[in-house]
Chain A
Amino acid sequence: MATSTKMLALAILAVLPVLMKASTCIGPQVTSNVYTTSEASMSISTVFVVEVAVKCNNGEKDLLLFADVNGHMVPATQSGTGKFQVSWSDEHKKLPAGTYGVRFFDEEGYNAVRKEKRSGTDGSAVTPIFTVNVKHSGTWTGPYVQTEFVATCVALLVWYMAYRSKSFLMS
């Protein structure tokens, strides 16, 4: 009885990896759409939004993706079949202008990165299934000089010229 139970447990353990096999995308074709905050005057933080449409050569559809965002692994939200979205935000000065490489991993890759990080490394040795380069041109903080200040200066200048002419006439 005990022997048959042990045999059953072993059989289940042997089959389990096959049943729970992580879905892998082979030869992904990626189209990406990127949005980054462009104006800082009306927002308190810079937001990055990356939308990707993934088509796998092996026809894999049940993907589970994770993105490496500035050293943090975040799950990618599925917004449609084969469409994923990742977003993050931070203070304007912490996300300056430049190109940010967002690495996308499947479950296997995610686990590998976690293992690497636990062992003390940054996980950069793990190959992502694809990378999206996000080009951020920086945020506009408004004009160097406020428009009302310019209007005030012009108005004051015109008035001063009028005042000088009046003083000359009154002399």
Chain B
Amino acid sequence: MASRKQKLTKEEELLLQDFSRNVSTKSSALFYGNSLIVSAIPLWLFWRIHQMDPYQSGILFAIMTAISTYLVSYAYRNVKFVLKHKVAVKREEAVTREVMKKVADDKKMSKKEKDERILWKKNEVADYEATTFSIFYNNALYLVLIILASFYVLRSLNPNVNYVLSVASASGLLALFSTSTK
């Protein structure tokens, strides 16, 4: 039996993209870049405030920053996925109005084409807003967790132990909370 390859329509592609947790290369680069910056913030905190020597603790810093970068970008992806659909619903009316205003005078465009364009624009807006909001929310939560862990919960511990446990717990909890669907 010969296999038939069916070309996906634009609508089907968008739907697949919508329900997939995968992100585009651009979004992935954005997530990893941001998570690296955020994961590097505790380095300055522990170097200047907790007086850890950056040369002596260099390997520890590198390992924990890498782990934290991965977990924070994982949290970004999860929160973005959950938010995207909600944002799409909230912005649907405004996006439809805007697109229809642009294409109203175009008589050559069929209704199907107009609907596809609306869907594409809605997806683009929802994707962008969900990405930026996910980064903002997760960064705020990560910093709160780091400050609470390093200055209050673990303050009496040795700085090296304090660093490992605060970064691990902050990024771990962030990843855990991001798996919530609410």
Contact = CB atoms under 8 A, between A and B. Distances in A.
A140 interface: no
Contact of A163 (B90, B137, B147, B152): B137
Contacts of B152: 148, 152
Chain B interface helix/strand/loop/mixed: helix
Contact of B151 (A152, A158, A169): A152
Contacts of A155: 140, 143-144, 147
Interface in A146-164: 148, 151-152, 155-156, 158-159, 161-163
B182 A170 contact: yes
A151 B147 contact: yes
Contacts of A163: 137
Contact of B86 (A148, A152, A162, A170): A170
A165 B132 CA distance: 13
Nearest to B91: A169
Contacts of B147: 148, 151-152, 155
B37 interface: no
Give the size category of B's interface with A: 10 to 19
Chain A interface helix/strand/loop/mixed: helix
Contacts of B90: 169
B88 to A, nearest CB: 11
Given A169-B83, A170-B86, A170-B182, A162 B136 contact: yes
A159 B87 contact: no
A152 B141 contact: no
Interface string A126-149: 000000000000000000000010
A32 B150 CA distance: 47
Interface of B: 82-83, 86-87, 90, 133, 136-137, 140-141, 143-144, 147-148, 151-152, 182
Interface of A: 148, 151-152, 155-156, 158-159, 161-163, 165-166, 169-170
